[in-house]
Amino acid sequence: MPLSRVAQTVVDFATATKHMFDAGPPEHEDVAWWIGGLALPTVPDRAGDRGKRRQGGIRGRIDSGPRSGTVPVDPSSTLHCEETPMRSITTRPFGTLPDGRGIDRIDLANGDTEIGILTYGGIIASWTAPNAAGDVADVVIGFDSLDGWLADPQYFGAVVGRYANRLRGGRFPLDGRLVDVTSNQGDNQLHGGAIGFDKAVWAAESHLDGIEVGVTLRHVSADGDEGYPGTLTSTVTYTLSSAGRLQMDFTALTDAPTVVNFTNHVYWNLAGEGDILDHIAQIDAGSFLEVGAGTLPTGTLRSVDNTPFDFRQPRRIGDRIAEVDGQLALGGGYDHCYVVDGTPGLLRPCARLTADGRALEIATTQPGVQFYSGNGIRPRTGRDGQIYGPHSALCLETQHFPDAPNIPHFPSTRLDPGDTYAESTTMIVHPAPGL
């Protein structure tokens, strides 16, 4: 005789509970686990340290290895999330470089969020998410084809390295000598030089672990690449949770002393169109780096008190961007690195953005975040025929401080053989009713 629904639920509950305690709890803070409609509390991980921060290499990192301790979720079983999300990874050709190398696009889909990533530059090419009314839009700017990124990309969505932001004079001291790197912005270097990591073709390996989907990109930069010493082996892992949270884990190893500073240069527009001046921004920082000519830091940390740079409380971006202010004039608007509150190396809140019924929340282990209000976006046709220009989007680039190798009291960006560079940033776009 078939079991009643209640009896079957009890059997399923007992079986699933045994499996869960044998395997350990799911490793994601955003998921409520349900069995037969009953909420289950999570249990301590017997391994003791999985998912916790630990000190390693040259700074703290978030463990992001295989999720061997998670409970797999079969959508057809009675063990499921509150709403079993659709998860998929799709890889397809996205074009060919002039030298004949093919570029792929990897689409990560989980729940209501879908993110497209290119093997060219590690680019976040698209990010679709619903607003509070259920309307879906692409909240990052980009292009319909690879040609747009090859013609005049301005780093749209790209991984930036070896050194994000600026290096004064295209050089830095290292072990008693001056290292000359490629200058590509006047006398200075910007975002790793003429052919930085934003133009590299990354090897990709996708993974679907329990309730997460992701892809790991790998790139080897040869000794002397753009002038940097040491062969640098780098990985960027994008992992998308069922809640729509994207975690970016950056790692690097070197065989000779060098400097490293990675970021992702995604451009946000939460409305999917228009400009970002009506977006409401909040940045968890009580100080920012003063800049001089060329928007290079002077080495002085300035308080945001009584300045247009105070975003400690949510505020419309356009409210003070046009004020007469020497720092705003140098950047043509906001183009400054904020000193994120809290302890570098620990994942902590960094910034929040709201518009059109959506909210973006960012957390990071990095010491700084560059707020760029899109002042210099050059006019061009983007995705779906949209015309981009100044303030069409903004960037919140988590990173170490610009020009740190030339400013001794800034946090070090040095990487030595035997150490591991490891930094993480999380980003989530979710519906925000009333905003």
pLDDT tens digits along 94-149: 999 999 999 999 999 999 999 999 999 999 999 999 999 999 999 999 999 999 99
Amino acid at 288: F
Residue 209's pLDDT is: 85
Q: Cα–Cα distances in Å, from 351 out to 230, 254, 335?
A: 34, 31, 15
The reply to whether omega before 162 is within 30° of 0 (cis) is: yes
Give the mean pLDDT of the chain: 84
SS3 102: strand
Closest CA to 65 of 80, 77, 49, 76: 49
85 confidence band (pLDDT: 50, 70, 90): low
Pull the structure tokens for residue 385. Answer: 């025929």
Residue 308, Cα to own-chain centre: how many angstroms? 26
- Report the distance separating Cα 91 and Cα 89, nearest Å: 7
Known catalytic membership, residue 82: no
10 confidence band (pLDDT: 50, 70, 90): very low
Asked if residue 70 has pLDDT above 90, the reply is no
Residue 210's pLDDT is: 83
SS3 305: coil
Residue 334's pLDDT is: 98
Asked if residue 173 has pLDDT above 50, the reply is yes
- Report the distance separating Cα 217 and Cα 203, nearest Å: 5
Pull the structure tokens for residue 175. Answer: 């072990």
Closest CA to 233 of 387, 49, 417: 417
Per the model's pLDDT, the better-predicted residue between 42 and 238 turns out to be: 238
Find the catalytic residue in 219, 265, 391, 400. Answer: 265
Asked if residue 223 has pLDDT above 50, the reply is yes
Residue 2's pLDDT is: 38
Stated as kind and residue range, the H or E segment containing 6 is: helix 5-23
226 confidence band (pLDDT: 50, 70, 90): very high
Find the catalytic residue in 114, 226, 361, 397. Answer: 397
Q: What is the DSSP letter of 85?
A: -
- Residue found under tokens 């074009």: 95
SS3 184: coil
Stated as kind and residue range, the H or E segment containing 149 is: helix 146-151
Residue 78's pLDDT is: 28
Asked if residue 377 has pLDDT above 80, the reply is yes
Residue 153's pLDDT is: 81
Predicted confidence (pLDDT) per residue in 317-338, tens digit: 999 999 999 999 999 999 999 9
- Report the distance separating Cα 288 and Cα 311, nearest Å: 11
Q: How far apart are the first and last CA of the chain?
A: 54
Closest CA to 138 of 275, 278, 270, 279: 270
Amino acid at 303: S
Per the model's pLDDT, the better-predicted residue between 145 and 76 turns out to be: 145
Domains and CATH numbers, the chain: 5-81 (no CATH), 87-431 (2.70.98.10)
Helix, strand, coil shares of the chain, percent, nearest 5, are 10, 40, 45
SS3 314: coil
Name the percent of the chain lying above pLDDT 90: 79
Known catalytic membership, residue 397: yes
- pTM for this predicted structure: 0.82
52 confidence band (pLDDT: 50, 70, 90): very low
**Burial of 84 by CB count in 10 Å (0-12 exposed, 13-18 middle, 19+ buried)?**
middle
Residue 31, Cα to own-chain centre: how many angstroms? 21
Closest CA to 400 of 435, 431, 369: 369
Residue 38's pLDDT is: 26
Residue 434's pLDDT is: 75
Helix intervals (H) in 73-218:
146-151
Residue 29's pLDDT is: 35
Mean pLDDT of 412-432: 98
